[in-house]
Amino acid sequence: MPFKSVILHPLAKPLFFILCLSPLLGIILNAIWGDLGANPVETVTHQTGDWTLRLLILTLLITPLRRWTGYSALLRFRRMSGLFVYFYASCHFLIWFLADHSLNVSSMIEDIIKRPYITVGFSAFLLLTPLAMTSNQWSMKKLGRRWKSLHQLVYVIITLGILHYLWLVKADYLEPMIYAMVALMLLLVRVERFKRLWTTSSRSS
Amino acid sequence: MIKIKRASDCSESEITPETIYQQRRKFMKASSVWGTGLLLGGWGTYLNASVDVSSYKKSVITLDDKLTDFKDASRYNNFYEFGTGKDDPVKNAQEFNTDNWTVNISGECEKQGDFPLEALLEGVDIEERVYRLRCVEAWSMVIPWLGVPLAEVLKQFSPTSKAKYVAFKTLFDPERMPGQKRSVLDWPYVEGLRIDEAMHPLSLLAVGMYGKTLPNQNGAPIRLVMPWKYGFKSIKSIVSIEFTEKQPPTTWSLSNPREYGFYSNVNPNVDHPRWSQARERRIGEFFKRDTLMFNGYADEVASLYAGMDLTKYI
């Protein structure tokens, strides 16, 4: 089956939904089987954090992928992927708020103010909120051109997210650096595109 | 609460005459082999260095805290020589062979040289001590170690008056310790103590835990255990002990001097520059608990640091 008919298949979106949900299902199953390791809270915190970044990268990959392949249908997956970013970021935040701060708001706020890696991580989460809230047809219509400007916050968010990861590592920077390199490439691809857009628009005006 | 038993507290039932007999036989055997080895000018082929911990004095120092499960203590390890992930050491250290282990003793002491592990422990009774272990990453465990007081071992080598510090070194062998193939840290791992810290009765050289020989991933065959300091001070798989006049370099403070000091005493009032040290997650518990000053050993060790500004000497 050619790629195009795969992504246009009526089951493609439900399947993608299940795929995005499978990391959480994996965590839940491991929790039931008592298989989250010696430090389950840390395992869940790390895994939800990892999946937030991975899905953020996937979301940012969809637009350039569409340009390269010419398959506009790929855009069908971008909103769902982006909403799952917010879903995993929320899980990541909630497990930290619950297990590390015992739901104590003032202790959480103190941590956010005092620890730079938490400051940037929490900022990224806050910035994601309006993006998740406006990821629907109604908001797109309502906001018009401003919708795009608002959603360009995602570039700030991924930078903060990776900084959050880099800042908490003790000595082994390999994994966060891999995320950083991939994110950098995804941003550079866009800079090139912006450049081209700018030159065409200035020519036409 | 820490309960320290005096030697006289050990009841007859804890050490059966038979185990004493076996223990003595073992020591005699070990020392005679060592003697023969000395005469032959090399003992490599004569000794198997794995330490027999089948007999030991039980619960010499203990705690009311619930013990961490052996399963968790032996699969959640920071031992970068076998990888930086917590579950890397248990996966990558299984093939690690600790036979014929020797420890080099050097520096400001009268007796120097390479000593087989058994010679190092000769004549010193192995005892069980239940200690809290507090990692700098804000998690903790409670582990029943088997070991010998560090002071007892160090005294055998007659440190001189110039011996102000003790420096330790982990094995450097990237073929056997694959984590050393990546320069995550400046290998070999080195650690150090002030001589009075090293001679403190709580300082332990461990060769076992949970009644068994030390698992490879926990620092076999011999490691330091400093219960009032962050875990990284308790250097693993030791191959060298050197008495020095000057403060020796230590791996984590070389890696980041602002974040990791020479002393690295557990202190809930002095945060790591990037995270809080006020609380910790005890492995096996969901919520965090308060971290205790000197990891709960303040009564025993606080006097070592009298007059020192603990916010400066981190």
Contact A99 B286 (CB under 8 A): yes
| pLDDT the model gives residue A193 | 66
| pLDDT the model gives residue B52 | 78
| pLDDT the model gives residue B201 | 97
ipTM of predicted assembly, 2 dp: 0.86
Rounded to 5 degrees, what are φ and ψ at B191? -140, 165
Strand, coil or helix: what is B229?
strand
- Cis peptide preceding B149, ω within 30 of 0: no
Rounded to 5 degrees, what are φ and ψ at B17? -55, -35
Contact A38 B86 (CB under 8 A): yes
CA angle, residues A165, A114, B260, in degrees to nearest 5: 70
Q: What confidence tens digit (pLDDT) does each residue in A13-31 have? A: 999 999 999 999 999 999 9
Q: Which residues of B touch A (CB under 8 A)?
A: 69, 71-73, 75-76, 80, 84, 86-87, 137, 139, 182, 184-185, 255, 271, 274-276, 281, 283, 286-288
User: How much is the average pLDDT of A97-111?
Assistant: 95
**Which runs of consecutive H residues, i.e. helices, occur in B142-292?**
150-155, 195-198, 251-255
- Domain covering B2-262 in this structure, CATH number: 3.90.420.10
Q: Name the residue among A39, A115, A168 with its Cβ closest to that of B281.
A: A39
For CA atoms A98, A104, A107, A113, give the dihedral sign: positive
Residue B5 — pLDDT band, cuts 50, 70, 90?
low
Looking at the complex, report in whole angstroms how far the Cα of residue B184 sits from the nearest Cα belonging to chain A.
6
| CB contacts, 8 Å: A174 with chain B | 182
Looking at the complex, report in whole angstroms how far the Cα of residue A141 sits from the nearest Cα belonging to chain B.
43
User: How much is the average pLDDT of A128-142?
Assistant: 95
Kindly state whether A99 is in contact with chain B, defined as any CB-CB distance less than 8 angstroms: yes
**Which runs of consecutive H residues, i.e. helices, occur in A33-171?**
40-69, 78-95, 105-114, 116-133, 137-143, 145-151, 153-168
Question: Which stretch of A156-160, B49-53, B114-118, B202-206 has the lowest confidence by average pLDDT?
Answer: B49-53
Any residues with CB less than 8 A from the CB of B61 and at least 6 apart, and which? Answer: B2, B3, B4, B5, B129, B130, B131, B202
Location of structure tokens 């001679």: B199
Domain residue spans of chain B: 2-262
Mutation for A interface: B251, B275, B291, most A CBs within 10 A = B275
pTM of the model: 0.85
| CB contacts, 8 Å: A170 with chain B | 137
Kindly state whether A204 is in contact with chain B, defined as any CB-CB distance less than 8 angstroms: no
